[in-house]
Amino acid sequence: MTAKPLHIEPRERTEVCLDGPALRIERPRQAPVWVPLRRISRITLSVRVNISLEAILACSERGIVILLHDDREAPAARIVGRAGRLTQLRQRLLDLTEEPDWKKSYGDWRYAMNRRIAATLGRRLQAPLTLHNHPRNMARWVREQIGQVVGEETERMTRILFRQQALAWMQQRLLQLGLGAENELWLAGPPDLAQDLANLLAFRLETIRFGWLRGGRLSARRQIAKPVSVTRRAVVAKTQQIQPRMERLGQDIVNRLHRWLVERV
């Protein structure tokens, strides 16, 4: 059975502990729920969840990323677990840091990727041509277009949740590539590789968020008269639904980083 993300984000205090090869989730006035560790790819928790040290260590042993966020949906902490084996990508990243101007080179690559993604968004969302080469302006335009439909608060909430899922996916992928707790330089920065690549992935996912929140209308020129109401549960369900596409887009970004590292030698 394929492992899937586990979201534990209750409105009231919840206990999570290790029970053999599974996590036991206990909520007030509800029967306990058991989730086998082998069925979990990563975990997203709110601050209302009290997870035991034994459960954390068990997840760490299996390389399950744990992402904790506060009541305002902002990331509060993350546990990335043990690193996997050394890989070519990791070694090339280490070689990069030996160069005196590596920060500028890496920054130039990130900016070029942002411009590439901005151009893609511009074409697909029919944004003004003046935005296609300006990532920040493009991102602002997308936020404004979505905000006109669902309101600023819902726009912000959906953007944060999409970004959380992008970060969780990227942390898990880097862990599989040998960039884990033993290589914290590349996960906590500088640079924060997981965050940097997750930001690119979240930017690329804006076409999905845009089309979904605008009722399937990718063109911003088609106005929507009636505001759309979106719940937090609906956003979580949507991010789970698009996991296959997220994985394809995320892997493409990782591949482009690796290709850049190879070609610059």
Q: pLDDT of 219-264, one tens digit each?
A: 444 454 455 567 888 888 888 899 899 999 999 999 999 889 877 6
Is pLDDT of 188 > 50? Answer: no
How do residues 30-58 score in pLDDT, each as one tens digit?
Answer: 899 999 988 887 888 888 889 999 999 88
pLDDT, average across residues 185-197: 70
Residue 202: the pLDDT is: 96
Q: Residue 129 corresponds to which tokens in the numbers above?
A: 């041509």
DSSP 153-219: HHHHHHHHHHHHHHHHHHHHHHHHTT-SGGGTHHHHSSS-HHHHHHHHHHHHTHHHHHHHHTTT---
Over residues 179-206, the mean pLDDT reads: 75
Q: pLDDT exceeding 70 applies to what percent of the chain? A: 85
Highest mean pLDDT out of 63-67, 156-160, 186-190, 217-221: 156-160
User: What residues have CB less than 8 Å from 256, skipping those under 6 apart?
Assistant: 113
